[in-house]
A and B are shown apart, each in its own frame.
Chain A
C-alpha cells in the first residue's frame, strides 16, 4: 500500500467535504462565491501536480491503482476541465433554486471518480470509479428539479446508465470467471501463458460487454441514444462536464482495458472498432443537421467526436493513441468555451428553450462571447489553424498510416474516407451556428452582456488553448508521444 500515490484524489475529496461543511456557515447571498473558491483550490491542486515529485511508474493498493504518465496526463486533464466547469457553475448559480454548495461539491466528487478512473488497474477499481462518476451525474443532470426537461434527462440517464452498469458487471463476471483474476496486467500474463484463453468465447464476450459499458460512457453507437436528450435537459455546466470529463474517463478506461489487459485481442477487435467508429461518426454528423436546440446539437456533435476518438483506437498504433490524447486536449478547450458562452447567453435571455436563434446579434451584445463561440465552432468543425483541426488531422493520419497493414488495407482507407465525410458534413451545422451569430435577420434583443472577471479569464484561457494547440502543436504532441511510449511499449 502506498497512500501518497492518491494524494491528489484525497485533496479533491477533502475539498468536496469541506464545501459541504462550509455551506453551514456561509450566508445564502455569499454561497455563490464558494464555487470560485473551489475553482481556485483546484488550481492549486493542478499546480501541485507539476510541483510535487511523483513516481514515474508506480502501482499501489495491491496493484489496483497505477500512477504512470497516462494517469497523470488524464488527472491534469480532468482538473482543468473541473476548474472551468466550476466557473461555469457560478455563472449558472442563479438558476438553481436550492443546494448551490452541493452543486459544486458533487462536481468535485465526480472529479475524484474520474481521477481514480485514470489510475484504474483492475476491474474492481474500474467499476467503482465508473459508478462514482455515473451516480454523481444522475443527481447532477436532474439538478434543476423545477424543469421537466432536467428531470427527464435525469431519469433517462439513470435507466440507460443502470443498463450499461448491468452489462459492465456481467462482463467483469465473465472475465473473472474465465481468467481467474481482476487485474489488467495479470489478465495479459494469463493470455500469454495460455493462448486458449484469448479464444474462449466467454472471455471474449466479457470483453465485449465491458466495451459496451464503456461505449455508453463515451456515447458511441449503439449506446448513444441517451446523449442528445441528456445533453439537452441537463444544466449547461453539467452537460459540459459530461461531454468532456465523463467521455475522457471512458476513453482512458477503454485504453487501459484494450491495451493493458488484452493487448493481443486489440488486433482481433479492429474490425469491431472500425465499424463502430465509422457508424458513430456518420450518425452524429447526419443527425446534427436538423437540430435547432444548441445543446442538442452539441450532443450529436459529441457523438461524432466519440467516433473520431475510436478512429484513433482502431488504428491500433501508438500514433493513433497519441492522436486521441491530442484530440482530447483540444476538445477540452473547445467544448468548454462553447458551453461557457451558452451558459452566459442563456442567463441574459428571457426564453429558456436554447434555440440557436437566441445567439442572433451576439457580436453586438458581447464581442468576446461571439469570438469565443465562433472559434469553438470553427475548431469543432476542424478548420485550420485551430486545435480541432490538428486533432482530427492526427487521427486521420494515424488511420491512413495503418492502411499499410495488408489485412485491413481497404478497410482503413474506407474508414479514413468516412472520417473525412464526417468532417465535411459537420462543416454545415457548425457554420449554421456561426451564421446565427453574425448573419441572422432582425435580432430581437441587443442588450449588451457584461461578463464577470472569472468568466472572462476562463474564456481567454479557452481561446488561448484553442489557438496555441492549433498553431504550436509540438509541445503537447511531444508530451502525448512521450506518455504513449512510456505506457504502451
Chain B
C-alpha cells in the first residue's frame, strides 16, 4: 500500500514539475504557477509517507499557500504576454535535452546498482516530530539557523534596493 502510494505521489510530482517548466499546451505563467502548487502538494504527500506530518503541513501552508500567492502577485504585476510570445532557441532545447538525459541516465544507473540505505542506522523520532524538529533547529543547528536570519535581512535589503523607484 505504502509502496503504491509512493509511486503515485512520486509520478505526480514529476509530472506536475514537468508541466510547470515545459507545458506543451499553455505558455501562460499563471498555469505554470498552478502546476507548481500541485507539485508542492504531491511532495507533501511524500512527506506524509515518510511520517513527517509537520513538514507535510508546513509544505502546504507555507509553500503551496503563502509563497505561491506571492508568486502569483509578481506574475500578475509583470507583463505576461511578453513571456508567451518568446520563442525557444532550438540549440538551447537540444543542449538542455542532452544534459537532462545524461544526468537522468547517471542517476538512474547509480540508483539501480546501489543498495539504498544499507548499513544505515536510523533512529526513530521520540515524541512528536514537531518537537524533534524544533529541538534540532535550536540546539544542533542553532548557528546555521541564526545565519539564515542574516541571509533574510540581506534579501530584504536587496529587494528594496533593486525595486524601489527612487532612493536617496
Contacts and interface: CB of A to CB of B under 8 A. Distances in A.
Contacts of A116: 147
Contacts of A62: 139-142
Interface string A108-133: 01001100100000001101110110
Nearest to B122: A180
Given A136-B154, A202-B111, A205-B106, A125 B143 contact: yes
Interface in A70-122: 97-99, 102, 105-106, 109, 112-113, 116
A201 B114 contact: yes
B65 interface: no
Interface string A182-219: 00000000000010110011101100000000000000
A92 B155 CA distance: 23
- Chain A: number of interface residues, binned into ranges: 35 or more
Nearest to A206: B110
Nearest to A194: B119
A65 B117 contact: no
Interface residues of B, number: 36
A16 B167 CA distance: 19
A132 B157 contact: no
What's the dominant secondary structure at chain B's contact region? helix
Contact of B142 (A1, A20, A139): A1
B151 A128 contact: yes
A18 interface: no
A112 B143 contact: no
B162 A145 contact: yes
B148 interface: yes
Nearest to A183: B140
A6 B150 contact: no
Interface of B: 106-107, 109-111, 113-122, 139-144, 147-148, 150-151, 153-155, 157-158, 161-162, 164, 166-168
20 contacts: A1-B142, A60-B143, A97-B167, A98-B164, A99-B161, A113-B150, A131-B151, A132-B150, A135-B154, A139-B161, A178-B116, A178-B117, A180-B120, A180-B121, A197-B119, A200-B114, A201-B110, A204-B110, A205-B106, A205-B107
- Nearest 4 pairs of A and B residues by beta carbon: A139-B158, A98-B167, A201-B110, A61-B143
Given A98-B166, A113-B150, A202-B111, 19 more contacts: A20-B157, A28-B168, A61-B142, A62-B142, A99-B167, A109-B150, A109-B154, A116-B147, A125-B143, A132-B150, A135-B155, A138-B158, A139-B158, A139-B162, A145-B162, A177-B117, A180-B121, A200-B115, A205-B106
